[in-house]
Structure 1
Amino acid sequence: MTIQGYQFDKIKVTPESDAALYSYLAQNSDNKVIKGATATASGLNIYVSTGKALVQGRLIEITQQHQLSAQSNTTGYVVITVDLTQSNTATGTPGTSSYIAVNNQLKMELVETLTQQDLNSGGLIYTFPLYSYTSTGTSVALTKIDKSFFKKMETATIDLGWGMSVVLTKKDGVVSANGTTTPSSNAGSTGSFNLGVKVPEVFRPINSGILMARGNNAQWANYIVNSDGSVTMATGAMNTGYTFYVSGSWVVE
């Protein structure tokens, strides 16, 4: 046949076709740690916790803490390696409790350089980095590779006073702020005025962020979100009876 489908009755679904499907559906969430897989170091030993990851459309689970030993005075990466040049083995009868499969195509290791072939387009080896590391004669320093870890979307609502509120959404290290509100009382500032409210820590900018409140009566106000979470009304004026649209964004990590 010149056309094949996989999610059909009596059709053999191969691991390759499954992985290609999951990789496509995952898109930006492919090659990501879903849960756990954090690392710590003691001496020249590196310990990776239990966790789950999606690598090239393949679901991988670390079922118990994994220990790796670094050579002294080296640099490299803590990786999950998918190596399709290897052959898996099995014992027992499929479909019974005696069946045990051994996955020789998967391991966790330390490598000096990354090999990242597209496994869904004929590639055979993909090293998925969790951390980079640098070792001395007696210890290891670890650096988490942030882009390899899935970042959940987080939200919070803060009150700017005078009946004004805004919803903060954090994703991939950036906070977006949006809100549509009507002030419950008049407010204005010709200089810096601290509102006495605090943005939750996970939403605080590295340096500072700006919120702009624009009214449908051409009024406006600027708010400054400081790195310590405090919020300052910098300039502007707002009156009751008008709708204000609050927006802004800033980097948090």
Structure 2
Amino acid sequence: MAITMYQADRNFVSPANDASLYSGLSGDISGILNRGNNFNVTVDGLVATIDTGQAIVAGRLVEITIPETVTIPANSSGYICLVIDLTKTNDVFGTAGDSDYSVTVNQIYVSAIPQQIVTQDDLNNGGSVYEFPLVSFTSTATSATTSTHRAVYLNSSWQTIVPSTGTATRLQYRINNGIIYVTCNKLYPIQQNSTLFTMPSWTVPSDTMNFDIVLKNSSSTSNGSGIGIVQITSTGAVTLALTPNDSASQTYYGWFSISYPIN
């Protein structure tokens, strides 16, 4: 038969089948999960240490349980990556089903890649190599500096934002599959033309934001005429400026939600 169903009684599900399923469920998005220390990278000279964490890469769950180290090439720039290489062979010890059976997985490792373009084959359609950048690096003969390249959690928990003005009983954000969601309930007071908060510095496309904002002034139960304006700095930081159209400066309270994709 040319048709099959992998989740069928007595059928065999290979790692490739399993990865294809999870990749589809995650929207074919590779990203870091909010686990362990999120692959935090520190550098001493030319030696980088990658802390614990988990990521879904092309549907494969990758985990570092004990910090890994890698040497950064001198006088170069590039990326420190999680590398999946399906051309490599894993080492098998013992017999499957026995208590002493184990596998050394050689198809995943950490590497410092001294180039500006990484290889990202479609592993679920015949590809072999996928290099997932954790940080970018620039090195001299004796030292290196790094910067976060892709700190995207597929599904983070709600994180509290401390407002820069006013008082919030619930001002939070979360990230799910590359989309950041910001929500606020019972925020007060907000002064005219005030900046409410600054998000972490992610790169955001300004033309792909969705807004659902309700504002009311302190003397009326009807909706105010305020609008929300998102301002994006050159570093990618996001601020929300509330600029009511009323001629007189008033105090506002309200609730809103914002969502937009992050790179």
Fold shared, TM-score > 0.5 on shorter chain? yes
Q: How far apart in 1 are the matches of 2:127 and 2:31? A: 19
Between the aligned partners of 2:200 and 2:62, the Cα distance in structure 1 is: 34
Amino acid at match of 1:39: V
SS in 1 for 2:99: coil
Q: What is the match of residue 204 of structure 2? A: none
Between Structure 1 and Structure 2, the one with more helix by share is 1
Among candidates 177, 182, 196, match of residue 176 of structure 1: 182
One-letter identity of the residue aligned with 2:131? T
Equivalent residue for 2:66? 64
Q: Are the equivalent residues in 1 in contact too, given 2:225–2:244 (CA < 8 A)?
A: no
Contact 1:205 1:250 in 2 (8 A): no
- Deviation digits for residues 49-81 of structure 1 (CA, Å, limit 9, x no counterpart): 121111110111112111111121111111111
Instruction: State how far apart, in whole Å, the 2-side matches of 1:206 and 1:131 are.
Output: 16
Per the alignment, residue 145 of structure 1 pairs with 149
SS at 2:142 equivalent: coil
Gaps of 5+ in 1: none
Residue 124 of structure 1 is matched in structure 2 by 128
Once the two structures are TM-superposed, the CA of residue 169 in structure 1 deviates from its matched residue by: 3.5
- Deviation of residue 233 (structure 1)? 8.4
Structure with higher strand content: 1
- Report the counterpart of residue 154 of structure 1 in structure 2: 158
**8 Å contact 2:155–2:174 — kept in the other structure?**
no
Match of 1:25 in 2: 25
Distance in 2, matches of 1:217 and 1:2, equals 63
Equivalent residues, number: 229
- 1:111-162 deviations in whole A, cap 9, x for unaligned? 123110000011011111111111011111011113554462535598957x
Cα deviation for residue 179 of structure 1 reads 4.5
Identify the range of structure 1 (56-65 vs 117-126) with the bigger mean alpha-carbon deviation: 56-65
**Contact 1:129–1:148 (Cα < 8 Å) also in 2:** no
Instruction: Tell me, in whole angstroms, the C-alpha distance in 2 between the residues paired with 1:106 and 1:206.
Output: 30
Q: Which moved more, 1:62-71 or 1:164-173?
A: 164-173
For residue 232 of structure 1, report the CA deviation from its aligned partner: 8.4
Cα RMSD of the aligned pairs, angstroms, is: 4.3
- Aligned residue identity for 1:247: F
Identify the residue that residue 98 of structure 2 maps to in structure 1. Answer: 96
Corresponding residue of 1:107: 109
Question: After alignment, is 172-181 or 70-79 more displaced?
Answer: 172-181
The higher radius of gyration belongs to 1
* Change in 2 beyond 3 A, CA 1:71/1:160: closer
Question: Quick one: which amino acid aligns to residue 20 of structure 2?
Answer: A
Q: Label 1:72 to 1:25 Cα distance change in 2 as closer, same or farther (>3 A).
A: same
Once the two structures are TM-superposed, the CA of residue 173 in structure 1 deviates from its matched residue by 8.4
Percent of counterpart pairs with the same letter? 27
Q: Which amino acid aligns with 2:61?
A: L
Can you give the 5+ residue segments of structure 2 that lack an aligned partner in the other structure?
A: 202-210, 232-236
Paired residue secondary structure (2:26): helix
SS at the partner of 1:110?
Answer: strand
**Corresponding position of 1:40:** 42
Structure 1 Cα separation of the partners of residues 181 and 5 of structure 2: 42
Please report the TM-score for the alignment, with normalisation by the length of structure 2: 0.68
Q: Secondary structure at the match of 1:81?
A: strand
